[in-house]
Amino acid sequence: MAADDSVDLAAFIRPVPDFPKPGILFRDITPALAEPRAFALAIDRMAAPWRGEPLDAIAAVEARGFLFAGPLALALGVGVIPVRKPGKLPAETIHHDYDLEYGRDRLEMHKGVLARGSRVLVVDDVLATGGTAAACMRLIEAGGAMVVGAAFLIELEALGGRERLTPHRVETVLKY
């Protein structure tokens, strides 16, 4: 489906107050996913800044990043590398542990899935604090590839995630 620029993409992002806890305003992407014209426009706008950029792969951050990575990879003519939580990948993996505000977490990807020097774009749905995206970037670099930048549908500017991803290029479609 071709992207329709007459669609107001922001109208398909539902604000959900007090989720997952009181005081948080959650930005729900599911209405945009459910409407083909909105979803097509989201993919087109996420792809636009990267067209012409030499890329070898998209690294998709589990789980909502997977929803955007497949169509985005097709639009840009590259493959998808799933970056997952521990224990989800069947073959030998490499991992990166990182700190969260409430503990530690880990991301994994298959060992050897990226050729040394590959140019990789990190993709996720929302850029909040940037912790998960930064961990994904470190994992990719530990695997011998180069992070070209990151693409997100939504950026929550007040949480400062963009600064955490410096010096990498960051492109977002909607900012709140």
Residue 144 placed within a domain: yes
Residue 166 placed within a domain: yes
Residue pair 137/121 in contact by the 8 Å Cβ criterion: no
DSSP letters, 32-101, are HHHSHHHHHHHHHHHHGGGTTS--SEEEEETTHHHHHHHHHHHHHT-EEEEEBSTT--SS-EEEEEEEET
Q: How far is the C-alpha of 44 from the C-alpha of 128, rounded, in Å? A: 22
pLDDT at 25 over 90: yes
Residue 46 placed within a domain: no
pLDDT at 4 over 90: no
Residue 42 placed within a domain: no
- For β-strands 119-127 and 146-155, DSSP reports them as parallel
pLDDT at 102 over 80: no
Residue 22 placed within a domain: no
pLDDT at 176 over 80: yes
pLDDT, tens only, 35-83: 999 999 999 999 999 999 999 999 999 999 999 999 999 999 999 999 9
Tally of domains in the chain: 1
Q: How far is the C-alpha of 102 from the C-alpha of 95, rounded, in Å? A: 20
Helix (H, G, I), strand (E, B) or coil at 2: coil
Residue 40 placed within a domain: no
pLDDT at 2 over 80: no
pLDDT, tens only, 108-155: 999 999 999 999 999 999 999 999 999 999 999 999 999 999 999 999
Residue 152 placed within a domain: yes
Residues 6 or more apart whose CB falls under 8 angstroms from that of 99 comprise 131
pLDDT, position 100: 78
Comparing C-alpha atoms, which of 150, 174, 57, 155 is closest to residue 110? 57
Residue 113: which CATH number?
3.40.50.2020
* Tokens read off for 105: 């977490």
pLDDT, tens only, 145-156: 999 999 999 999
Phi-psi region of 163 (alpha: psi -120 to 50; beta: other; left: phi over 0): alpha
Q: Which residues are catalytic?
A: 64, 101
Structural domain span for residue 115: 53-175
pLDDT at 101 over 80: no
- The secondary element (H helix, E strand) that includes residue 23 is none
pTM, entire model: 0.95
* Tokens read off for 29: 């992407």
Task: Provide the pLDDT confidence category of residue 160 given band limits of 50, 70 and 90.
Answer: very high
* Tokens read off for 108: 């994994």
Residue pair 143/114 in contact by the 8 Å Cβ criterion: yes
pLDDT, position 5: 80
Residue 170 placed within a domain: yes
